[in-house]
Amino acid sequence: MVAKGTRRPPEPHETRLRARYAETDQMGVVYYSNYIVWMEVGRVEFCKALGCNYRDMEREDGVLLAVVEAHCRYLSPARFDDEVVVRTWIEEANPRTVRFAYEMSLAEDGRMLATGETRHFFLNREMKRTRLPQKYHAQFGIG
């Protein structure tokens, strides 16, 4: 039995990308800030998989997802042309804030490259904190 008002958090989502030459540095591996960009790629595709297109949320509802914290642990370097799996899920969500978690691994052999989290506030068009509109609650697993 599930208590009234509780919802299950959405399932993790996996998206794939390929490390670009532009993303490498002179150490011969992917430069460290690019994993933070890859988290964004994972987050956008995660939201899309939930039926909650981030572009539309921003354009039509004027809700922006502002980052307030980002954290990344680097385990093994990605290299040029590596296919990378970005696994994304919601760690915690309420109408004021959402926390995403990420695992980035090599598609070829599953080797973990990096793990991370980002924490976000919802902002309106005036860049002030706001609540996530009710219609998106179910998708974010907010009960």
Using CB under 8 A as the binding rule, whether residue 124 contacts its own copies is answered as no
Binding of residue 107 to its own copies (CB under 8 A): no
Task: Return the exposure string of 29-61: e unless at least 16 CB atoms fall within 10 Å of the residue's CB, then b.
Answer: bbeeebbbebbbbbbbbbbebbebebeebeeeb
| Using rule CB under 8 A, residue 21 touches its own copies | yes
Answer yes or no whether residue 27 interacts with its own copies by CB under 8 A. Answer: yes
User: What six digits make up the tokens of 46?
Assistant: 């995660």
- Which CB, 79 or 99, lies closer to its own copies? 79
- Draw the binding track, 33-72, toward its own copies (x: CB under 8 A; -: no contact): xx-xx--xx--x--------xxx--------x-xxxxxxx
Q: Is 25 a catalytic residue?
A: yes
Q: Which of 26, 109, 110, 126 binds its own copies (CB under 8 A)?
A: 26
Which residue, 7 or 64, is less far from its own copies as judged by CB? 64
Asked if 77 interacts with its own copies (CB under 8 A), we say yes
Active site residues per annotation: 25
